[in-house]
Amino acid sequence: MVLEKLGSSLYDAIRKVIRAPVVDADLVKELIRDFQRALLQADVNVQLVMELSQNIEKQALDEELPPGISRREHVVKVVYDALTYFVGEKQIPLDIRPGKQNVLMLIGIQGSGKTTQGAKLARYFQKRGLKPALICADTFRPGAFDQLKQLAESIKVDFYGEPDSKDPVKIARNGVKTFSDHEVVILDTSGRHKEEKSLIVEMQQIAREVRPQEIILVLDGTIGQQAAAQAAAFNEATDVGSIIIAKLDGSARGGGALSGVAATGAPIKFIGTGEKIEDLEPFVPGRFIGRLLGMGDIESLVAKVQEAEVQVTERDVNAMLSGKFSLADMYQQFEAMRKMGPLQKVLSMVPGFSYQLPQDQLDLAEDRMDRWKYIIESMTPEERENPKILNASRVRRIARGSGTDERDVRELIKQYNAMRKMLRQLKGRRRMLRRMPFKLG
Ligand SMILES: Nc1nc2c(ncn2[C@@H]2O[C@H](COP(=O)(O)OP(=O)(O)O)[C@@H](O)[C@H]2O)c(=O)[nH]1
Ligand SMILES: [Mg+2]
């Protein structure tokens, strides 16, 4: 199977955006192609990939930028959202019914971290007031019994095993019976190698025997591209209910883990972040994506974009007042205004500035915003930046394109000129105010 490291190819794609001097439509399209390729190569469902990439393209290109946010930041945020959606929007807890016996069966290849995560899980639920127990059904690995027994003793969790038995199905059955009054019964199994037929059969027999509440696949977060194949093999043999990614401490980005998720469709519920028994954390999708993309500060970037989506910053108002005010800016201001209230309120955010705009102008702006938006949308970027070039034939074309009247288009231009003039006046007035030796209210 030809599988690329999903994580790293996505990372490369994102890097392109981060490094590019200009983020334009072409670059966004290229990014989306990279994104599709990466996901398809990881055997992600074609329909899901198409859905995701359509969303990304639509949002990255069509959505108006929140004030103060660059196209670049916006694109990163959109991709981030898509990936977050992909690994799950929020953390999904392990559903334990208190007061009842819940059997959790751990599967995964040898060395992936099953035994360690099993003990960590026991500790995790013990700290939350539940009664856990550990069962060693690994009769293959020498020392498996002692390893889990010692871990169980170190956290004072009840343990069951049969050191001399070679029958894991029987051990599992006896253990589950022994712990009938325990709430979280964690069953550790042998790993060996994923392609070993007898392992698969053994796993299926144990599952059939004890009917676990949930089968948890433990994946090694450092294995990269093998994760998808491994996860797929286990998922074919059993019903993988959730995933724990172990060894996500250190430098592992866990890109393979994402393909593991893709291969099984099962959610990641925990990550192992160290060898110690306390090193288990509920999986937080956002944090994982940040790590996957190799962007430590992605969460603050996302927070910044989210904030800007509902707030017009003082900087934007200043930029608007500084004279460079295009139709594109006007459009953006309309968008922002709708989200936060009237323009008067926007302007009132500028310190030391109190000027009442004529109310009829504000009303007019708000009433006709929708029509104006259609009109501006029908313009070329050049026309938006430099409305002076709007001659009669352009006005005709825009009116037709936006489903409005030529009169509406001319009215918009007139309104735009009026606003620009007004803003220039405000700017002069503000400068004057600043020169005053004392504050004028
Ligand atoms: N750094 C790190 N090492 C881990 C983690 N989980 C397990 N290990 C180590 O990985 C090795 C294999 O773990 P083990 O639980 O025995 O794997 P099993 O064969 O699947 O049961 C051991 O040396 C563990 O200490 C983890 O989250 N981080
Ligand atoms: Mg083990």
Answer yes or no: do 62 and 114 share one domain.
no
Answer yes or no: do 138 and 213 share one domain.
yes
**Ligand 1 centroid to 116 CA: how many Å?**
5
Q: What is the pLDDT of residue 439?
A: 30
Residue with CA closest to ligand 1 atom 1: 274
| pLDDT tens-place values along the chain, 441 residues long | 222 344 555 556 666 666 666 667 787 787 778 777 766 665 556 666 787 788 888 887 777 777 777 776 777 778 777 777 667 767 788 989 999 999 999 999 999 999 999 999 999 999 999 999 999 999 988 899 999 999 999 999 999 999 999 999 999 999 999 999 999 999 999 987 766 788 888 999 999 999 999 999 999 988 766 777 788 889 998 999 999 999 988 766 666 676 677 778 888 999 999 999 999 999 887 777 766 655 555 565 666 666 555 444 455 555 555 556 778 877 776 665 555 455 555 444 433 334 455 666 666 656 666 788 889 989 998 998 888 899 999 999 999 988 889 998 998 888 788 777 766 766 655 444 333 333 322
CB 189 within 8 A of CB 105: yes
The verdict on pTM exceeding 0.85 is: no
Ligand 1 pocket test target in 116, 194, 217 with most atoms within 8 Å of CB: 116
Cα–Cα dist 230/193, whole Å: 10
Pocket of ligand 1 (CB under 6 A): 108, 110-116, 191, 246-247, 249, 272-275, 279
Residue 33's CATH number: 1.20.120.140
Answer yes or no: do 179 and 274 share one domain.
yes
Residue with CA closest to ligand 1 atom 25: 275
Cα–Cα dist 358/363, whole Å: 9
Q: How many domains does the chain have?
A: 3
Which of 240, 262, 283 terminates a domain? The answer is: 283
Answer yes or no: do 43 and 131 share one domain.
no
Which of 55, 90, 125 terminates a domain? The answer is: 90
Nearest-atom index, ligand 1, CA of 273: 27
Q: Who contacts 353 (Cβ-Cβ below 8 Å, separation ≥6)?
A: 347, 426, 430, 433
State CA 396 to chain mean position distance: 44
- Domain annotation covers residue 291: no
Nearest-atom index, ligand 1, CA of 138: 21
- Domain annotation covers residue 145: yes
Answer yes or no: do 207 and 265 share one domain.
yes
Residue 394's CATH number: 1.10.260.30
Q: What is the pLDDT of residue 381?
A: 87
- Domain annotation covers residue 56: yes
Q: What is the pLDDT of residue 313?
A: 47
Answer yes or no: do 119 and 257 share one domain.
yes
CA–CA distances in Å: residue 440 to residues 91, 315, 356, 429, 435: 53, 22, 15, 12, 11
Answer yes or no: do 82 and 107 share one domain.
no
Q: What is the pLDDT of residue 297?
A: 53
| Burial state string for 341-355 with b = 16 or more CB within 10 A and e = fewer than 16 | ebbeebbeebeebee
Ligand 1 pocket test target in 114, 187, 268, 275 with most atoms within 8 Å of CB: 275
Nearest-atom index, ligand 1, CA of 112: 20
Q: What is the pLDDT of residue 372?
A: 81
What is the per-residue DSSP string for 283-331?
Answer: --HHHHHHHHTT-TTHHHHHHHHHHHHH---HHHHHHHHTS---HHHHH
Answer yes or no: do 265 and 338 share one domain.
no
Residue 195 burial by Cβ neighbours in a 10 Å radius (0-12, 13-18, 19+): exposed
Cα–Cα dist 67/329, whole Å: 9
Cα–Cα dist 31/64, whole Å: 19
CA–CA distances in Å: residue 46 to residues 3, 34, 41, 51, 52: 15, 14, 10, 9, 10
Q: Walk across the sheet containing 268-272 and list its strands.
A: 158-160, 132-137, 184-189, 102-107, 214-220, 242-246, 268-272, 280-282
User: Domain limits at 431?
Assistant: 312-435
**Ligand 2 centroid to 261 CA: how many Å?**
22
**Ligand 2 centroid to 160 CA: how many Å?**
14
CB 160 within 8 A of CB 72: no
Residue 131's CATH number: 3.40.50.300
Nearest-atom index, ligand 1, CA of 188: 21
The CA angle 391-396-398, to the nearest 5 degrees, is 95
Do strands 268-272 and 280-282 pair parallel, antiparallel, or not at all (unpaired)?
Answer: antiparallel
Residue with CA closest to ligand 1 atom 7: 113
Which of 90, 111, 142 terminates a domain? The answer is: 90
Instruction: Please give the helix or strand (H or E) that residue 205 lies within, else none.
Output: helix 197-210
Which regions of 108-155 does DSSP assign to beta strands (E)?
132-137
**Ligand 1 centroid to 338 CA: how many Å?**
53
Q: What is the pLDDT of residue 177?
A: 98
Answer yes or no: do 372 and 258 share one domain.
no
Cα–Cα dist 408/13, whole Å: 43
**Ligand 2 centroid to 100 CA: how many Å?**
26
**Ligand 1 centroid to 354 CA: how many Å?**
64
- Domain annotation covers residue 290: no
Q: What is the pLDDT of residue 145?
A: 96
Answer yes or no: do 408 and 356 share one domain.
yes
Answer yes or no: do 420 and 350 share one domain.
yes
Q: What values do phi and psi take at 321, rounded to 5?
A: -80, -15
- Domain annotation covers residue 297: no
Answer yes or no: do 134 and 17 share one domain.
no
Q: What is the pLDDT of residue 334?
A: 62
